[in-house]
């Protein structure tokens, strides 16, 4: 698959066909299209071909994904345009394994599924959870492991991977009593894996 997270941020990846789009939802992909189906080794060779020939990485840091979500184009066609061009270039490459069946370009957009269409842009990220701290707010969007919470400081992103070991209790209001940091600046162009 090709997955798009924001302008200049497209990655190539592989997943089991039986999982369908679950892997892309887990990663917080804003838009994606399948590239093809076939055996695992053929998919891995194709992934490596695209990484080398088109300079499309297989990883994008979560901090960059979060920053990109703060400035998404409003039109689905704009969100799909970048992967449309890469998809066409990918299918035109020589060296695809014969056992991999190319797929036509059919973009899938997750903006509505994530609740991002109407959600205000995030202003910060919960840096860590701390003893004696509290965080409460209204869930306005969820993308990948990130929850977008409307708080008294604006919309903050909470990475749910911080939650193991912490108690969740019903809370009222929109309190922020945990460390918060600014969203990282988004890179202007994709540059390697990291």
Quote the CA–CA distance of 5 and 7 in Å, as a whole number.
7
pLDDT of residue 189: 41
- Kindly report, residue by residue over 14-73, the tens digit of the pLDDT: 999 899 899 999 999 999 999 999 999 999 999 999 999 999 998 999 888 888 888 888
What own/partner pairs with CB < 8 Å and gap ≥ 24 does 171-177 have? Answer: 171/134, 171/135, 171/136, 172/136, 173/136, 174/136, 174/137, 174/138, 174/149, 174/150, 175/134, 175/135, 175/136, 175/137, 175/151, 176/134, 176/135, 176/137, 176/151, 176/152, 177/132, 177/133, 177/134, 177/135
Half-sphere exposure of 36 (CA within 13 A, CB side): 22
pTM confidence score: 0.84
pLDDT given for residue 172 in this prediction: 79
Distance from C-alpha of 156 to C-alpha of 153, rounded to nearest angstrom: 8
Nearest to 5 by CA among 98, 103, 105, 83: 83
Collect all residues with Cβ–Cβ distance below 8 Å to 137 and sequence separation of at least 6.
Answer: 149, 150, 151, 152, 156, 174, 175, 176
pLDDT digits (tens, 9 = 90+) for 171-183: 778 889 899 998 8
How many Cβ atoms from other residues are within 10 Å of residue 120's Cβ? Answer: 13
What pLDDT shows up at residue 47?
92
């Amino acid at each position: 698959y090709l997955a798009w997270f924001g302008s200049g941020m497209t990655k190539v990846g592989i997943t089991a066909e039986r999982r369908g789009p679950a892997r892309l939802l887990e990663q917080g992909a804003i838009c994606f299209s399948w590239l093809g189906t076939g055996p695992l080794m053929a998919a891995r060779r194709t992934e490596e071909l695209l990484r080398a020939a088109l300079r499309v990485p297989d990883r994008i840091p979560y901090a960059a994904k979060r920053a990109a979500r703060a400035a998404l184009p409003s039109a689905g066609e704009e969100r799909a345009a970048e992967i449309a061009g890469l998809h066409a270039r990918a299918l035109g490459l020589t060296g695809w394994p014969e056992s991999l069946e190319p797929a036509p370009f059919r973009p899938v957009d997750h903006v509505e599924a994530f609740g991002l269409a109407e959600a205000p842009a995030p202003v910060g990220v919960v840096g860590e959870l701390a003893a004696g701290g509290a965080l409460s707010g209204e869930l306005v969007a969820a993308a990948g492991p990130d929850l977008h919470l409307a708080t008294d400081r604006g919309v903050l992103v909470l990475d749910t991977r911080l939650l193991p070991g912490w108690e969740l209790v019903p809370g009222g209001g929109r309190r922020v009593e945990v460390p918060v940091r600014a969203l990282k600046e988004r890179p202007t162009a994709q540059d390697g894996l990291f």
